[in-house]
């Protein structure tokens, strides 16, 4: 990849990433919750961290708990295509800590269990519940709602926190599923992508200005960006109502769509990067 191409890859990816990684608040605190997200109380009923491959996302949940942003906290995630990222991180932590700390077996543990272990060992806190069966965004929401069905009351507000590349799809998945599960139709959803990053082109290579612990390799991150825009399409190829009907309709801004098409054309030799079937 030459410098000019690299610069365009960076520009397109950062535009797409900013749009996918939606955050409905400027900061993760009570003031921003009221001011930016329209929640009338100082905390939401539930904060949900969804599993993924970036172990640094556990720090976001720890921060949320420290700031008392919710009445209850959950981690959702079984084992899926992103689990390998957490596996490698937990293997490293087990090697570093030896017998001085307890870590689950990364080959068999769910993403929720691995993230909960990070919370406990590093911060001494535990979420209120784990969901450990789900394998993708669709049943992340489905199984979360199954758990909530067993609660006495329906949450009036919830913060959804997912890998930034998948945050907008998680929101669209929630909106699609609550059309059929109408007891949650009035639940106020607040999005908080678990990280914000910017790619840069430095010394002939893609890298990040700053990134959370365990962040994806830049090319894997590109594949996530391209794949999620492809899924959000509302046509016969996408996940929208006119396609697979896995997510609610999403309006993709023209500049984001154009950046997605350009990025696909800049990376024509990598089928995983240019397809939606990741």
For the full predicted model, state whether its pTM sits above 0.85: yes
Distances in whole angstroms, Cα of residue 104 to Cα of each of 50, 73, 88, 94, 212 = 18, 20, 12, 9, 22
The pLDDT value given to residue 273: 44
The pLDDT value given to residue 116: 96
156 close to 187: Cβ distance less than 8 angstroms:
yes
The pLDDT value given to residue 18: 98
The pLDDT value given to residue 97: 78
The pLDDT value given to residue 169: 98
The pLDDT value given to residue 102: 77
The pLDDT value given to residue 172: 98
Provide the β-strand partners of residue 211. Answer: none
The ranges of the chain with pLDDT < 50 are 271-278
In order of start, what are the domains of the chain with their CATH numbers? 3-20+196-268 (1.10.3620.10), 30-191 (3.40.50.620)
The pLDDT value given to residue 103: 86
The pLDDT value given to residue 133: 95
For 253, the token pair is 């801004």
The pLDDT value given to residue 99: 53
The pLDDT value given to residue 203: 87
The pLDDT value given to residue 269: 60
pLDDT tens digits, 16-54: 999 999 999 999 999 999 999 999 999 999 999 999 899
């Amino acid at each position: 990849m030459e410098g000019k191409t690299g610069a365009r890859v960076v520009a397109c990816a950062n535009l797409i990433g900013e749009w996918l990684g939606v955050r409905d608040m400027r900061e993760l605190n009570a003031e921003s919750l009221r001011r930016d997200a329209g929640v009338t109380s100082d905390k939401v009923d539930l904060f949900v961290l969804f599993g993924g491959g970036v172990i640094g996302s556990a720090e976001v949940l720890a921060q949320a708990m420290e700031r008392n942003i919710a009445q209850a906290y959950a981690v959702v995630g079984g084992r899926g295509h992103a689990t390998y990222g957490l596996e490698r991180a937990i293997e490293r932590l087990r090697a570093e800590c030896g017998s001085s700390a307890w870590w689950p077996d990364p080959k068999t543990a769910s993403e929720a269990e691995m993230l909960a272990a990070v919370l406990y060992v590093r911060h001494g806190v535990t979420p209120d519940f784990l969901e450990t069966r789900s394998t993708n965004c669709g049943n992340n929401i489905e199984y979360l709602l199954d758990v909530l069905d067993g609660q006495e009351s329906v949450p009036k507000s919830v913060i959804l926190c997912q890998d930034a590349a998948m945050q907008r799809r998680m929101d669209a998945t929630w909106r699609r599923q609550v059309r059929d599960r109408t007891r949650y139709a009035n639940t106020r959803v607040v999005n908080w992508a678990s990280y914000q990053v910017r790619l840069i082109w430095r010394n002939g290579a893609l890298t990040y200005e700053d990134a959370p612990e365990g962040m994806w390799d830049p090319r894997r991150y590109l594949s996530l960006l391209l794949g999620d825009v492809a899924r959000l399409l509302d046509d016969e190829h996408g996940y929208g109502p006119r396609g697979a009907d896995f997510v609610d309709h999403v309006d993709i801004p023209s500049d984001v769509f154009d950046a997605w098409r350009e990025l696909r054309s800049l990376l024509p030799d990598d089928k995983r990067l240019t397809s939606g079937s990741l």
